[in-house]
């Protein structure tokens, strides 16, 4: 079974410049509370840009961002593209299925050719854990690597857009109890969320899942484990439902989807066990009637569409910090 706490070599040293600025964004692991809060603060400022009549700023004018998606994606790819364009960057979307890699060209040859085109950042989504870290070890120092999800390992920008959503709706992290429900075993999102919540000081992080969908040593990341939905949801402030990742499952880990929904589906009835003011989140795509009821996904406590909006701002923040060296102090000075 996959060890959820395994770390394929990523460290803060790889992601940061000698003076502590963001160079790559590969993993939440090892980053400081101050840096995560800086990402959130800069993203907050970009939310104001998104609400304006002119939604562009010139921070990455003359820069090129290449999206390298070796896995299918809708929200992540679209929001990264929008984020780069709103920063005034040129955007190159590489269609892996029709690129030269499909003709036998190696990944390193592809990277070198993109570097020769003067790309300044690679946004990488890959099915192999550690792929973004490997690419970061191969590129020239002037290229920033942003991890858009690698295997079961990490999805740091998704975690940060979730943190931004939580902060905007709930304020401080310190008093919060957060529950993550569903396919924890295969979820890079869950791992990144748990790490981020702990770094930002959440009072308690819970994971709720059947034993077959719980990773080895998940408690080591800093969470409490529950196998009963009612017990896990009791009085929590934030509820995050995860998709069943059937494409990553080896073997029969669940009897049926209807069985999972019966015991772990987030419904109006089960949501009543959480705090009365609890918010509901989901990283998408949503499988209605499998992990969440439509009445909950579309209900007054759902902030799922806010997550999508906040995703653009977070990705603008990360790109501007990694590519142009943007910091909170520079943003305040230019305001």
Q: Are 3 and 216 in contact (CB under 8 A)?
A: yes
User: Which domains does the chain possess?
Assistant: 12-154+309-330 (3.40.50.1370), 156-303 (3.40.50.1370)
Is 155 annotated as a binding-site member? yes
pLDDT tens per residue across span 206-227: 999 999 999 989 999 999 999 9
* pTM for this entry: 0.91
Is 103 annotated as a binding-site member? yes
pLDDT tens per residue across span 139-193: 988 999 999 999 989 999 999 999 999 999 999 999 999 999 999 999 999 999 9
Is 285 annotated as a binding-site member? yes
CA 243, CA 122: separation in Å to the nearest integer? 27
User: Among all chains, which residue has been given the structure tokens 């857009």?
Assistant: 161
Range in 129-133, 168-172, 270-274 with the lowest mean pLDDT: 129-133
The residues, any chain, with a CB within 8 Å of residue 210's CB and separated by 6 or more, are: 227, 254, 260, 263, 264
Is 77 annotated as a binding-site member? no
Backbone angles phi, psi at 26, to 5 degrees: -110, -35
Is 75 annotated as a binding-site member? yes
Is 76 annotated as a binding-site member? yes
User: Among all chains, which residue has been given the structure tokens 């066990």?
Assistant: 273
Is 188 annotated as a binding-site member? yes
CA 260, CA 266: separation in Å to the nearest integer? 10
């Amino acid at each position: 079974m996959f060890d959820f706490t395994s770390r394929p070599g990523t460290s803060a040293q790889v992601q940061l410049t000698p003076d502590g600025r963001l160079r790559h964004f590969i993993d939440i692991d090892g980053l400081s509370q101050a840096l995560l809060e800086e990402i959130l603060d800069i993203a907050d400022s970009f939310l104001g840009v998104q609400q304006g009549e002119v939604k562009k700023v010139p921070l990455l004018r003359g820069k090129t961002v290449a999206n390298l998606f070796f896995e299918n994606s809708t929200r992540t790819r679209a929001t990264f593209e929008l984020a780069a364009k709103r920063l005034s960057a040129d955007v190159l979307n590489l269609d892996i299925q029709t690129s030269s890699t499909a003709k036998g060209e190696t990944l390193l040859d592809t990277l070198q050719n993109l570097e020769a085109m003067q790309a300044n950042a690679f946004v990488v989504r890959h099915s192999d854990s550690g792929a973004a870290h490997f690419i970061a070890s191969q590129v020239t120092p002037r290229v920033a690597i942003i991890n858009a999800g690698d295997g079961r390992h990490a999805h740091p920008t998704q975690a940060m857009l979730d943190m931004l959503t939580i902060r905007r709706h709930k304020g401080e992290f310190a008093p919060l109890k957060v529950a993550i429900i569903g396919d924890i075993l295969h979820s890079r999102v869950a791992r990144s969320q748990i790490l981020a919540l702990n770094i930002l000081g959440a009072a308690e992080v819970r994971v709720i899942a059947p034993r077959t969908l719980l990773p080895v040593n998940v408690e080591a990341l800093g969470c409490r484990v529950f196998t009963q939905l009612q017990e896990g949801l009791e009085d929590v402030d934030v509820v995050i439902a995860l998709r069943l990742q059937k494409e990553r499952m080896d073997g029969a880990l669940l009897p049926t989807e209807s069985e999972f929904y019966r015991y772990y589906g987030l419904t109006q009835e089960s949501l009543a066990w959480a705090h009365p003011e609890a918010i509901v989140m989901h990283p998408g795509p949503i499988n209605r009637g499998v992990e969440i009821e439509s009445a909950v996904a579309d209900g007054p406590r759902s902030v799922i569409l806010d997550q999508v909006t906040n995703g653009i701002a977070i990705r603008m923040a990360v790109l501007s910090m990694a590519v142009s060296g943007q910091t909170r102090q520079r943003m305040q000075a230019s305001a």
